[in-house]
């Protein structure tokens, strides 16, 4: 288990039964984006495990944060590895819907 | 290299001068009180020290214990001047009181030497102070240069934004407030002839320099694309194709933009639009509820192909159609629905005519929470 912390954004990474789960906590915006990329960079290329983002404790995300999710989605899609988000809070689900990207994550979720 | 020595005791002054002279620092000036120091720095009235300009002094050696005004008080006053506070101050003090030393450092001194003055130590402290000063100056100059560059760049960026149109059937204008010198929002409109107009508002991922460069790229292909393809579905598809060509090597960075593009036919009173992940535009006619342009597809620039959901709707004038970026509703603590509802409510009570001042008051004056400031843009279309 590996934890990265900053004042307003932190992640916890766990690997269990072939699933890597990164739990996001706090506010993921332009200033937190470099840290989050650093966390995700070594994980995205792992092809013998599913990659999951748990958003239960995610309070806020801006377009830069969504951009990172989408880049992970594309990278995982390109290598035929599973990626999905789980426990999406209502306000973030609503944002995904408004931005027209909800279905990208939903399809992935259904395919697990 | 000019060093100003401030000390009421002539013996001390002489010792310091001798040390400096041996080390080849010959350009020294001495004064015997804090007041004389200010005078030497060009300050005529201490109450107006904020207004004083830069001085030719590079470093001050300031005695702590002096009659009338001591070194600590002098340091504090120096800090009030934007220019004079840049001169490094080393306080010279008799051994002992660490509280006093701390006070002097807190008051703005960068370092201290104790009496009796040790030559090696004094010279090391002077070198250190000058080195820090040099580094600080370097950063300040670079910041200034970047600021100036950014201001120029923002002028360039502003130049691509469309000017208002005031035709008999159709008027369009915008309010725009970038969160930074350079922006990630872009609006553009074109008169297509025969009472038709094409309008686009887009919001690039992120904000700041990189987003603004992407915006400028899109801006450069926009006019061609609109006049070649006109139709919303085709225009968005073409912009997607163009944008995908910009490939960023770095992993985990995905640029994209949300956009709403529409073509208004003022003779047939028809609006066609495609909404690519953008907050819904709002059409207010004399009906009670606004029409939301919320048939939303994914944003532009994600995949090789893009799904669009083109919509066609009729309107009865007069009316107003408002396009905006999420910076207008974002950043508040409430839920998206609540913010959206608030915006709709505000726009409902407006007349169809664009009231720049009222809109500016409503949507552009409150401060967003720290670090959440986004570009804010509102485009207002009036139908007669």
Q: How far is B25 from chain A (nearest CA, A)?
A: 46
CB contact under 8 A, A99 and B258: yes
B203–A67 C-beta distance less than 8 A: no
Domains defined for chain A, CATH in brackets: 2-110 (3.30.750.24)
pLDDT band at A109 (very low <50, low <70, confident <90, very high): very low
Using a 10 angstrom Cβ sphere, with 0-12 exposed, 13-18 middle and 19 or more buried, the burial of residue B279 is: buried
Contact map slice: B 188-207 vs A, CB within 8 A: 203, 205-207
Q: Is the N-terminal amide bond of B318 cis, ω within 30° of 0?
A: yes
- Which of B217-256 are b and which e, b meaning 16 or more Cβ less than 10 Å from the residue's Cβ? ebbeebeebbeebeebbbbbbbbbbbbbeeeeeeebbbbb
Q: Tell me the three-class secondary structure of chain A, residue by residue.
A: CEEEECCCEEEEEEEECCEEEEEEEEEECCCCHHHHHHHHHHHHCCCCCEEEEEEEEEEEECHHHHHHHHHHHHHHHHCCCCEEEECCCHHHHHHHHHCCCHHHHHHHHHCC
Our CA dihedral for B89, B95, B101, B105, rounded to 10 degrees, sits at: 20
Report domain extents, chain B.
Answer: 3-150, 160-383
The CATH classification number of B3-150 equals 3.40.50.2300
Select from B203, B251, B276 the Cβ nearest to the Cβ of A100. Answer: B276
The residues of A whose Cβ lies within 8 A of any Cβ of B are 29-31, 37, 40-41, 44, 60, 62-64, 66-68, 70-72, 74-75, 90-91, 94-95, 97-101, 103-104
* CATH label, B160-383, candidates 3.90.1300.10, 3.60.40.10, 3.40.50.2300, 3.90.950.10: 3.60.40.10
- Check CB contact under 8 Å for A67 and B208: no
- Show the low-confidence residues of chain B (pLDDT under 50): none
* ipTM attached to this prediction: 0.84
Q: Cβ–Cβ of B251/A41 closer than 8 Å?
A: yes
**What local confidence, expressed as pLDDT, does residue A1 receive?**
53
The verdict on a CB contact (< 8 Å) between A68 and B253 is yes
| Any A CB within 8 A of B208 CB | yes
Chain A environment of B276 (Cβ under 8 Å): 100
B304 touches chain A (CB under 8 A): no
Q: What are phi and psi of B168, to 5 degrees?
A: -65, -35
Instruction: State whether A91 and B336 contact (CB < 8 Å).
Output: yes
Q: What is the pLDDT of residues A67-105, one digit of tens each?
A: 999 999 999 988 999 999 999 999 899 999 999 999 888
Across the interface, whether the CB atoms of B374 and A62 are under 8 A apart is answered yes
């Amino acid at each position: 288990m590996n934890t990265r912390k900053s004042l307003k954004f932190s992640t916890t990474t766990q690997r269990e039964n072939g699933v890597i789960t990164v739990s996001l906590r706090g506010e993921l915006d332009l200033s937190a984006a470099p840290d989050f990329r650093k966390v995700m960079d070594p994980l995205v290329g792992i092809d013998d495990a599913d990659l999951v983002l748990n958003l239960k404790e995610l309070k806020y995300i801006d377009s830069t944060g969504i951009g990172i999710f989408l880049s992970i989605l594309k990278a995982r899609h390109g290598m035929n590895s599973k990626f999905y988000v789980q426990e999406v809070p209502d306000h973030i689900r609503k944002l995904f819907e408004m931005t027209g990207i909800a279905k990208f994550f939903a399809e992935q979720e259904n395919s697990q | 290299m000019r060093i100003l020595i401030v000390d009421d005791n002539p013996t001390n002054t002489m010792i310091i001068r001798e040390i400096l002279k041996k080390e080849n620092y010959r350009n020294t000036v001495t004064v015997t009180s804090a007041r004389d120091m200010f005078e030497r720095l060009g300050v005529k009235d201490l109450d107006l020290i904020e207004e004083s300009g830069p001085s030719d002094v590079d470093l001050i050696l300031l005695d702590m214990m002096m009659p009338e005004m001591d070194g600590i008080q002098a340091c504090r006053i120096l800090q009030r001047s934007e220019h004079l506070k840049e001169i490094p101050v080393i306080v010279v003090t008799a051994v002992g009181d660490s509280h006093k030393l701390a006070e002097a450092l807190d008051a703005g001194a960068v370092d201290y030497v104790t009496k009796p003055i040790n030559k090696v130590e004094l010279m090391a402290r002077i070198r250190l102070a000058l080195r820090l000063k040099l580094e600080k100056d370097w950063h300040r100059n670079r910041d200034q240069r970047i600021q100036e560059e950014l201001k120029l760049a923002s002028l360039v960026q502003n130049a691509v934004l469309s000017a208002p149109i005031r035709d008999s059937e159709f008027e369009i204008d915008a309010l725009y407030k970038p969160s930074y010198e350079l922006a990630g929002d872009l609006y553009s409109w074109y008169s297509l002839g025969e009472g038709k107009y094409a309008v686009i508002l887009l919001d690039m991922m992120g904000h700041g320099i990189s987003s603004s460069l992407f915006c400028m790229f899109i801006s450069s292909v926009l006019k061609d694309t609109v006049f070649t393809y006109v139709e919303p579905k085709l225009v968005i598809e073409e912009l997607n194709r163009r944008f995908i060509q910009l490939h960023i090597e770095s992993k985990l960075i995905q640029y994209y933009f949300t956009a709403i593009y529409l073509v208004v036919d003022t003779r047939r009173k028809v609006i066609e639009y495609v909404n690519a992940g953008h907050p819904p535009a709002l059409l207010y006619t004399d009906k009670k509820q606004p029409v939301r342009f919320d048939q939303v597809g994914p944003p532009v620039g994600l995949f090789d192909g893009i799904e669009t959901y083109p919509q066609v709707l009729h309107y009865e004038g007069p009316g107003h159609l408002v396009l905006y970026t999420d910076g207008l509703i974002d950043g508040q603590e409430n839920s998206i629905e609540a913010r959206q509802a608030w915006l709709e409510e505000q726009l409902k009570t407006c007349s169809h005519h664009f009231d720049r001042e009222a809109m500016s008051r409503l949507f552009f004056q409150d401060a967003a929470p720290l670090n959440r400031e986004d570009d804010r843009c509102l485009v207002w279309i009036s139908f007669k």
